[in-house]
Amino acid sequence: MNRYQDIVGRINYGLFLTVVALLPYPQIFLRYACVLWIISWYLEGRWLGERLKGKGVYIPFLLFGLWYAWHALSGLWADDPTAWAMQMERYMAFGLMVPVGIWGVNRYYKPETTLRVLAVTAWIVVPIYLLILIFQWDHQTGLVDFMAENISHIKHRLFLCTVELAGILAAIKLWKHRPFLLSGALLTMMTMVVLSGSRQAILTVASVGALLLIYALPKPYRLRYGVGILLIGLMMGVGILSLHPRMQELGFNGLTNMRELSYYHDLRLNVWGAALQSPSDYLAYGVGGGQSPHYLAQHFQEAQMPYYAQAGLHAHNQYLEEMMEIGLPGLLLFLLAWCTVPFCARGEGRRTAWLFTTVFAISMLTDCMFGKFDGIAIWATVLVLILFQSDTEGDEQSSRDAETH
């Protein structure tokens, strides 16, 4: 590596750590940091370097690139070119990450340092946000109701909870032999998850906890007892959710008829009902990237629900959103990209991939994780972490093999 690459490489890694540190903060800072990080990667010229050693590690990156290309192609039949262009700009990170996945990152990237920054920033943001919210305290509302209503003014609680869950996983990895430090971090971050009122985050915590227990078992017993542990974890998550104050907002009668569009209280049920009114409209190739709010608004207008029609709502389910915008073929490509992430990762990267894909997979059931730049930045960071964990594992294994011989 020449002097130019050495300097830019250090700047590139510093910007990446800046992105990681800014994940739980408002997205305006995060957006600029991500753009600078990608630019510095290209300035470094890694795309002229040697490809990653890990065989097939880059396959998910290629698949996400193809999915992005299919979104780009859908602009040919999109009714609103402006909404399509905004979607392409927001999803651009997926296209730019393809060469990163093929050629990897420079030698300064350290998984341990990245995890440490992730754990610390997720921990530090909790007292900062709590202090801000205390100054806005309204004694007319309950604690959880207040947090759920006001935390999104600072950071959308879906993405904040995702970062907190990532911080929990990083803390468990780093501080498992420091019980005092670990218990303090877990208690703080779990408090933010509960008080934020994110129901899917609470269920995700239970699922990830079950996965961690499965990984703690000896390998011969993982498959034998894994399903049971996962089911118990999910049941515990549902049990905790049933006691959560925000569960009172959900009208369970609406679950038996998701097409009941006159029931205003359950926003997600109304949106899903509108989306599922005419699946034949989009199953073949979709209505076009960024067109789902316009498509839903038409159905709400027909159902004489002007409030919903004017709100510009998206599908509140990433899988349904993909099927609506790019059809069943696009959804299958999207799912294939996700499924290959843990199977193409190696060593420690595979465990990280299983845990983080579980976090995202559950969160995508009730919201569009890529509806804002925050979700895309979090996932890009996770992909890079998995990438160089897999590559580092390969280097370490080669060194052990050489020492053996």
Query: Which string of DSSP letters, residue by residue, matches 36-82?
Result: HHHHHHHHHTGGGSPPPSSTTTTHHHHHHHHHHHHHHHGGGG-S-HH
Residue 341 lies in a domain: yes
Q: Inform me whether the pLDDT recorded for 252 exceeds 60.
A: no
Q: Inform me whether the pLDDT recorded for 323 exceeds 90.
A: yes
Counted domains in the chain: 1
How much is the average pLDDT of 49-60?
73
Looking at every residue in the chain, the average pLDDT score rounds to 81
Per-residue model confidence (pLDDT) at position 76: 93
Q: Inform me whether the pLDDT recorded for 282 exceeds 70.
A: yes
How much is the average pLDDT of 277-289?
90
| DSSP code, position 383 | H
Q: Inform me whether the pLDDT recorded for 157 exceeds 60.
A: yes
Q: Inform me whether the pLDDT recorded for 8 exceeds 80.
A: yes
Q: Inform me whether the pLDDT recorded for 393 exceeds 80.
A: no
How much is the average pLDDT of 340-359?
89
Residue 283 lies in a domain: no
Q: Inform me whether the pLDDT recorded for 259 exceeds 70.
A: no
Highest mean pLDDT among 32-36, 139-143, 258-262, 282-286: 282-286
Residue 172 lies in a domain: yes
Per-residue model confidence (pLDDT) at position 403: 37
Residue 29 lies in a domain: yes
Tokens read off for 168? 């929990």
Per-residue model confidence (pLDDT) at position 77: 92
How much is the average pLDDT of 313-322?
91
User: Which percentage of the chain shows pLDDT scores above 70?
Assistant: 83
Per-residue model confidence (pLDDT) at position 115: 93
Residue 386 lies in a domain: yes
How much is the average pLDDT of 12-18?
93
Q: Are 370 and 27 in contact (CB under 8 A)?
A: no
Q: Are 285 and 327 in contact (CB under 8 A)?
A: yes
Residue 205 lies in a domain: no
Tell me which of 80-94, 217-231, 284-298, 353-367 is least confident: 217-231
Q: Are 284 and 327 in contact (CB under 8 A)?
A: yes
Residue 202 lies in a domain: no
Q: Are 95 and 62 in contact (CB under 8 A)?
A: no
How much is the average pLDDT of 353-360?
89
Per-residue model confidence (pLDDT) at position 212: 77
Tokens read off for 142? 């309950």
Tell me which of 112-126, 139-153, 297-311 is least confident: 139-153
Domain residues for the domain of 334 are 3-197+244-251+315-404
Residue 224 lies in a domain: no
